[in-house]
Amino acid sequence: MMSLQELSDRKEIEQLIVRYANAIDRRDWDALDAVFTPDAYIDYRAMGGIDGRYPQVKAWLGPVLANFPRYCHLVGNIQITLEGDSARGRTLCFNPMETPLPAGGSQVMFLGLWYVDRFVRTAQGWRMSERVEEAGFQHNVPAHMVLPTS
């Protein structure tokens, strides 16, 4: 049976994962300050992005995601392993993204990935100290775009 502390920790981490997805989908980059530790390592290379420390990746997000008129991040199958004041997690993400086509119009591509995370308890609550994407699947990616393949 889970203790109240474990239930609370799990719920707070789950909400942190959802807060990340909502911040990205609202294009509210400053909301990510309450998701990541200031020195967090983020690796988006599996899906064609960059890797680096949180400030660098935060600055990159706005300009690169401006290329996609609409998108969403549906997260689920959240697996959390608590280790005292730290934790590990693995979360499934389904990510449809609309992308403009060179000849006009747009196309929706469907991306599936996993987030492999490390969390740490801070004075402000749980925060992500590491997020690494693992590629899952891609479907309907326009020919002009190059995404890494698994």
Task: Examine residue 134 and state whether it is found in any structural domain, yes or no.
Answer: yes
Give the CATH number, domain containing residue 46: 3.10.450.50
The per-residue pLDDT of the chain, averaged, comes to 96
Task: Examine residue 58 and state whether it is found in any structural domain, yes or no.
Answer: yes
Range of the domain at 131: 4-139
Residue with tokens 């060179």: 102
The pLDDT value given to residue 40? 99
Residue with tokens 């449809």: 96
**Tell me: the pLDDT tens digits for 19-29?**
999 999 999 99
Query: What is the separation, in whole angstroms, between the first and last Cα of the chain?
Result: 38
pTM over 0.85: yes
Task: Examine residue 148 and state whether it is found in any structural domain, yes or no.
Answer: no
Task: Examine residue 10 and state whether it is found in any structural domain, yes or no.
Answer: yes
Q: How far is CA 25 from the centre of its chain?
A: 10
Task: Examine residue 145 and state whether it is found in any structural domain, yes or no.
Answer: no
Averaged pLDDT, 116-126: 98
**pLDDT confidence bin for 146, thresholds 50/70/90:** confident
Averaged pLDDT, 1-10: 96
Q: What is the number of domains present in the chain? A: 1
The CA dihedral of 93, 55, 125, 130, to the nearest 10 degrees, is 50
Pick from 62, 91, 65: which is nearest to 78 by CA? 91
Task: Examine residue 146 and state whether it is found in any structural domain, yes or no.
Answer: no
Task: Examine residue 37 and state whether it is found in any structural domain, yes or no.
Answer: yes
The string over 12-32, giving b where at least 16 C-beta atoms fall within 10 Å of a residue's C-beta and e elsewhere, is ebbebbebbbebbeeeeeeeb
The pLDDT value given to residue 150? 58
